[in-house]
Amino acid sequence: MTRLDVKKTYKLYIGGAFPRSESGHTLQVNTHKDEHLANVAQASRKDARDAVVAARGAQRGWAGATSYNRGQVLYRIAEMLEGRREQFVEDIRACEGVSQRQASSQVDQAIDAWVWYAGWADKYAQLVGNANPVAGPYFNLSVPEPTGVVAAFAPAEAKNTSLLGLVRTVAPIVVSGNAVVVWTHPRQPIPAMTFAEVLHTSDVPAGVVNILTGLRESAAPWLASHADVGALDLMGATDVDWAALEAEASATLKRVLTPAKSVGEESLARIRAFTEMKTIWHTKALG
């Protein structure tokens, strides 16, 4: 007797839950051999709006946690990635058609990148902030604070990005206390949705990371112009008209990181891109 191969349909990850797309539409994801692998939800503008609402609701609490606590939560995600590395290797091989060694290397790099950013959680402020010399009996301090909700696009290159590209996009955004709405690789979203399952069973508060799947052109301009989105990460948006999205973002004075701006793969500059500087004055004790 021949069994039917039941293909999995991956849902979205919004507000710590896995809802179906409001549109009811799904897309077929194929292997590198063009064989049917799974189905994913085609996120709509309504789904993107729901994700922004969830991110906005979670961001204040996440930013209010101590930097040490945020670092520990992020370290926990790295531990869980390590525990499911074989599943990620299988997902990457199926999607990207790479060798076992290449897929294992990508998973290792993703785990290492997550650990790298987790380690900066309680350290980056000491390098980014500073004490400013001023005239008069005052202390003047500049300290970094999170921007708020960041809309981001995971890289859409063909290989070695389906997991690593997502991690390198999400980690530097959330480490400082931001919440993120991230659109996955449009053709290879399965490792990202497996990562969503890791997030769901971790200590990350619901809504801090929201993951959308499907074609990105439909809702991308709406996210770029959304007044409740404080910043836009377009480093991975090479498959869409990112210059037009940058123009859309200018209407609401968003911070924008574009492919034209050079920042390292793991770099302090990626953390700084989504922080604001707050300057504090305080009188010195006289006498």
CATH of the domain at 232: 3.40.605.10
- Residue 184 in any domain: the answer is yes
pLDDT at 46: 94
203 Cβ partners below 8 Å, 6+ apart? 73, 76
Find, among 26, 36, 40, 49, the residue nearest to 210 by Cα: 49
CA distances to 37, 183, 187 from 42, in Å: 16, 11, 12
The pLDDT profile of the chain, 287 residues, written as one tens digit per residue, is 677 777 788 999 999 999 999 989 999 998 888 888 999 999 999 999 999 999 999 999 999 999 999 999 999 999 999 999 999 999 999 989 899 999 999 999 999 999 999 999 999 888 887 777 777 777 777 788 999 999 999 998 756 689 999 999 999 999 999 999 999 988 899 999 999 999 999 999 999 999 999 988 878 898 999 999 999 999 988 888 899 999 999 999 999 998 877 666 788 999 999 999 887 777 877 65
Alpha carbon distance 155, 153 (integer Å):
6
In a domain, 134, yes or no: yes
* 155: its two tokens: 């890289």
Q: Kindly state whether residue 3 falls inside one of the protein's structural domains.
A: no
Instruction: Summarize pLDDT for 161-211 with one digit per residue, the tens.
Output: 899 999 999 999 999 999 999 999 888 999 999 999 999 999 999 999 999
In this structure, is residue 1 part of a structural domain? Answer: no
Total of domains in the chain: 1
For residues 58 and 77, the answer to whether their CB atoms sit within 8 Å is: no
What size, in residues, is the chain? 287
Q: How far apart are CA 172 and CA 233, in angstroms?
A: 11
CB 211 within 8 A of CB 13: yes
pLDDT at 159: 64
- Give the domain range for residue 243: 9-283
Is residue 111 in some structural domain?
A: yes
Question: Two tokens at 110?
Answer: 């993703």
Q: Which residues lie closer than 8 Å to 24 by C-beta, 6 or more apart?
A: none
Buried b / exposed e over 100-129, threshold 16 CB at 10 Å, is: eebbbbbbebbbebbbbbbebbbebbeebb
User: In the structure encoding, which two tokens stand for residue 243, read together?
Assistant: 């210059």
Residue 247 bridge partners (DSSP): none
Q: How far apart are the two ends of the chain, measured CA to CA in Å?
A: 92
Strand 130-131 with 26-30, pairing: unpaired
Report yes or no on 4 lying in a domain: no
